[in-house]
């Protein structure tokens, strides 16, 4: 009896083969993950090592001197903040409201399908095309000139499709039963959206909006054509050095300028500029992840 029981639970060749396949799949997926993470760590480590002689808080709050060959990056740093904040102030409300319409109100007809197709295609348009559009639409047609406003509106148009797509996914993740429960007690569609759908999808919406900061902060072509300038004299540590109708410096444009058009610049300064830009993007992404986890933990379902 015991021999039969032991034989019954003995591993068969089929079980051993499945276990080998499981271990192979596990190591394969681990290798794929490492192939993404290890190059990133190597790149960041290389940049930090080359930038270390110039990296400091003073480097961020100081202004460029001696034709940008020395000094800091404050005008470019604060200019990037201006561009990102203003672009999100325009694109986030429009994108969220458009997504609410498409997901909650729009009927399945040719016009709304055309809008969805336009949103998807607009998300894949290269940034240089957005730059030319911003040049024609905002700089010349709207007569905003080369300014922070023109550059920010161009960045807003560029980030708008992704905000719409991420917001629609967040809204669609809310179970339909939540909506039906509200409708059954007499709530209107807007009351349901305001009281139930939006609060339960806010984590996904905010994550999608905040992650667009990475793209807006790192783009060069759209701002180069519409509002970024080679150099702008500002005071050290001045939090409000620009007006919206003026041009500004930006980190991505400044990095390009230092690398290609400033001879004799200190070798560590372009790398330090890249590290600050990368750190800004990583900090925003980390904040988005933290915010998403916190909001998801507050969900009741």
Q: Is 212 exposed, middle or buried (0-12, 13-18, 19+ CB in 10 A)?
A: buried
Cβ–Cβ < 8 Å for 222, 152: no
Which tens digit of pLDDT belongs to each residue from 153-197?
A: 999 999 999 899 889 988 988 888 888 888 888 888 899 998 888
The yes-or-no verdict on residue 109 having pLDDT over 80 is yes
Q: Which CATH architecture has domain 57-297?
A: Orthogonal Bundle (1.10)
Domain boundaries, the chain: 2-51, 57-297
SS3 64: strand
Q: Which residues contact 12 (CB under 8 A, 6 or more apart)?
A: none
Residue 40 pLDDT level (bands cut at 50, 70, 90): confident
The yes-or-no verdict on residue 202 having pLDDT over 70 is yes
For residues 43-51, give the mean pLDDT.
Answer: 92
Would the CA dihedral through 268, 270, 274, 276 be positive or negative? positive
């Amino acid at each position: 009896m015991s021999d039969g029981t032991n034989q019954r639970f003995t591993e068969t060749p089929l079980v051993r083969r499945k276990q080998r396949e499981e271990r192979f799949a596990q190591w394969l997926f681990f290798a794929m993950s490492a192939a993404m993470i290890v190059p990133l760590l190597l790149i960041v480590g290389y940049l930090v090592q080359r930038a270390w002689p110039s990296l400091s808080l003073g480097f961020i709050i100081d202004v460029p001197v001696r034709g940008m060959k020395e000094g800091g990056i404050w005008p470019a740093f604060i200019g990037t903040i201006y561009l990102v904040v203003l672009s999100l102030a325009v694109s986030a409300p429009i994108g969220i409201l458009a997504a609410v319409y498409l997901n909650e109100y729009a009927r399945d007809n040719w016009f709304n399908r055309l809008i969805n197709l336009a949103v998807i295609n607009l998300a894949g348009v290269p940034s240089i095309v957005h730059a030319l559009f911003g040049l024609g639409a905002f700089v010349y047609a709207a007569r905003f000139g080369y300014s922070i406003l023109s550059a920010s509106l161009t960045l807003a148009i560029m980030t708008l499709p992704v905000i719409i797509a991420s917001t629609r996914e967040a809204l669609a993740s809310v179970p339909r039963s939540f909506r039906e429960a509200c409708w059954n007690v007499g709530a209107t569609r807007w009351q349901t959206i305001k009281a139930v759908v939006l609060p339960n999808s806010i984590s996904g919406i905010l994550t999608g909006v905040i992650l667009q900061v990475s793209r807006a902060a790192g783009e060069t072509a759209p701002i180069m054509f519409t509002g970024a300038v080679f150099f702008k004299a500002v005071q050290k540590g001045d939090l409000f050095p620009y007006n919206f109708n003026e041009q500004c410096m930006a980190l991505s444009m400044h990095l390009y300028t230092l690398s290609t058009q400033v001879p004799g610049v200190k070798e560590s300064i372009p790398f330090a500029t890249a590290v600050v830009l990368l750190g800004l993007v990583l900090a925003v992404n980390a904040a988005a992840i933290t915010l998403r986890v916190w909001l998801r933990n507050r969900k009741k379902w």
